[in-house]
Amino acid sequence: MTRYARQKGTATILFAILIPALFGMFVLGIDGVKALQDKARLLDATEAASLAVSARTVDVDDSTDLELAETLVNEYLLEYMRDIVKIESTNIIKKHCDQIPECLANLQQGGHRYFQYQVIAQTQHQPWFIGGLQTLPETYSVAGRSFVNKYQNRAIDVAFIADFSGSMQDEWTGGSKEKYQDLFDVVSEVMAELQKYNDLEADDTNHVAFIPYNRYTSPAEETFSYPKDGKSGNDEEMRRCYMSYVVPNGSSTITISNATKTANNWDEPNYFRQIELGKDDFKDTAGGCRLNYESISSSSSKTNYQNLYLKSKFWDIPFTDNFKQVEGTIRTFDPWYGTSSYQGLIRAARLFKERVDANKANDQRLLIILSDGQDNYPTTMTRLNDAGLCDEIRGALSDPQKEIEAKIALIGFDYKVDSTNPGLRACVGEDNVYKANNRDEILNTILELITEEIGRLSPST
């Protein structure tokens, strides 16, 4: 028998033996490519989701907000992924600068503070050749993560609308000082961050305004001379006027009719009431204050005089980029008296409107109300909002054609912001209400509002 005859059929046998191995290699190759493709798609999905989460400024400590964010992440995963069996897990992590070693090192070198949002996900998939090899599982999982660092990327105008009621003199567990002093420190730290941007952008700089309020506000340009002890003929000194921008009606809570008048005239230059105690008329005038303590007959008005003009000391600071001057000025202020956040909001909006009308405003426009408690007359804010005041303010400070949208936010600290001040919450919108338990949370919330624009995407690892 020839050698060829002896080997006849050997190739066929070898091929038959190798078929399972070849098929296995084919299956592994095809499904391996699919797994790699699923991994790449998952990374794309987590990158898009992390950008979306950072744009929403998610509060991961709020269960409702976190649940909404996780739903958003899942929607991105389902949109990007193919042949998905199920989403096994998602996790959203938010870190402040003081929790990121690289950010702290960057700050020490004069760099910018930033926030980081991280999205981690794991999904389950079926291979294309399910059951092709009995030794392979019927499903497999892929995992991925991406994170976004958010920096300030353009100049902003920020109006700090600060509660200067008597309770701001109280000490609290959220800081080491009286509340208004901790607030001064927070504003100073925010301005220090804004100054870093200004140092790099000479032609496009951040500006801030500081508007304190109690039951009223005090415009910087309005002053008057008054007796130090409240008695005519004695030593006098210059004192600030206090103004109301709400049309009165002889009672503590505004009527619906007067709320509408206020909402329709909030930006009229001469439309305000000077607080001349003993009188309650609304004057369409820009005249100076007129006070005569001895002519005040009622004891309640005398008490109000003492609270306003002898105990409280503050005035508003219009928009400026001289942050050192702002810091030096606000540290001379003293809070006292009641709380009417709508007064501070209207005054801040008027200052903002002047800047917008003069074509000096930056494209990013933010009004932040900082308060430690409920308004004395919360129904007034509800009626003002129902009359359209807050929408009128946002509309006047925005420019849809240039995609400029003014934002009003509320940061409540040392009280239950989620269950009080319903009119104020409705005014700013529920998504713009933030609760801070301590001074660091106030600081981080403000800085994150300033970096509201979608941040830079960092490499995933």
Render 253-317 in DSSP notation, one character per residue: SPPHHHHHHHHHHTT-TT-BEE--TT-----B--PPP---GGG--SHHHHHHHIIIIII-B---E
According to DSSP, residue 459 is labeled P
Cα dist. 414→57, 121, 251, 411, 439 in Å?
21, 35, 29, 10, 10
Closest listed residue to residue 456, CA positions, set 122, 153, 254, 39? 153
What is the 3-class SS of 216-230, one letter each residue? CECCCCCEEEEECCC
Q: Distance from CA of residue 449 to its chain's centroid?
A: 3
Neighbour-count burial for 138-154, b at 16+ CB within 10 Å, e otherwise: eebebebbbbbbbebee
How is residue 411 written in tokens? 């940061």
Closest listed residue to residue 323, CA positions, set 183, 156, 195? 195
Strand partners, 407: 366
Number of C-alpha atoms within 13 angstroms, CB side, residue 276? 16
Under the phi-then-psi rule, with left for phi > 0, alpha for psi from -120 to 50, and beta for the rest, what region is 126? beta
Give the model's pLDDT for residue 189: 94
Give the model's pLDDT for residue 304: 64
The CA-based dihedral angle spanning residues 378, 380, 383, 386, taken in that order and rounded to the nearest 10 degrees:
-70
d(CA 453, CA 83): 34
Give the model's pLDDT for residue 174: 92
Residues of the chain whose pLDDT is less than 70? 1-32, 57, 129-136, 201-202, 221-240, 248-252, 270-310, 452-461
Give the model's pLDDT for residue 407: 95
d(CA 203, CA 330): 26
pLDDT digits (tens, 9 = 90+) for 206-224: 999 999 999 888 887 665 5
Under the phi-then-psi rule, with left for phi > 0, alpha for psi from -120 to 50, and beta for the rest, what region is 309? alpha
The pTM score is: 0.73
Cα angle 238-240-242, degrees, rounded to a multiple of 5: 150
How is residue 307 written in tokens? 């609270």
